């Protein structure tokens, strides 16, 4: 639903960061259509951060494939 609402505003991609050990949140985001970034891209996003994060994205197409609506 969050991704669908973002898409309705014209955004093509939603991105979030989550603590890597928060398995419950990661599972929730995965079931909502988010995908984890690869290790190289995550390393780029983590550059300059005070700690390491797990980075995830979801696109409008992923929301559509899950049948999400606004």
Angle made by CA atoms 53, 57, 60, in degrees to the nearest 5: 165
Look-up: residue for tokens 């999400």? 68
**pLDDT (tens digit per residue) in 18-27:** 999 999 999 9
For residue 5, give the DSSP letter: H
Contacts of 13 (CB under 8 A, 6+ apart): 57, 58, 59, 60
The C-alpha atoms of residue 37 and residue 24 are separated, in whole angstroms, by 17
Q: Is residue 70 very low, low, confident or very high in pLDDT (cuts 50, 70, 90)?
A: very low
Q: Is residue 12 very low, low, confident or very high in pLDDT (cuts 50, 70, 90)?
A: confident
**pLDDT (tens digit per residue) in 24-56:** 999 999 988 899 999 999 999 999 999 999 999
- pTM for the whole thing? 0.77
pLDDT of residue 1: 62
């Amino acid at each position: 639903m969050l991704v669908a609402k973002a898409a309705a505003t014209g955004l093509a991609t939603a991105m979030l960061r989550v603590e890597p050990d928060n398995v419950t949140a990661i599972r929730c985001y995965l079931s909502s259509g988010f995908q984890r970034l690869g290790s190289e891209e995550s390393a780029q996003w983590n550059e300059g951060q005070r700690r390491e994060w797990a980075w995830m994205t979801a696109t409008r197409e992923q929301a559509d494939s899950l049948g999400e609506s606004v």
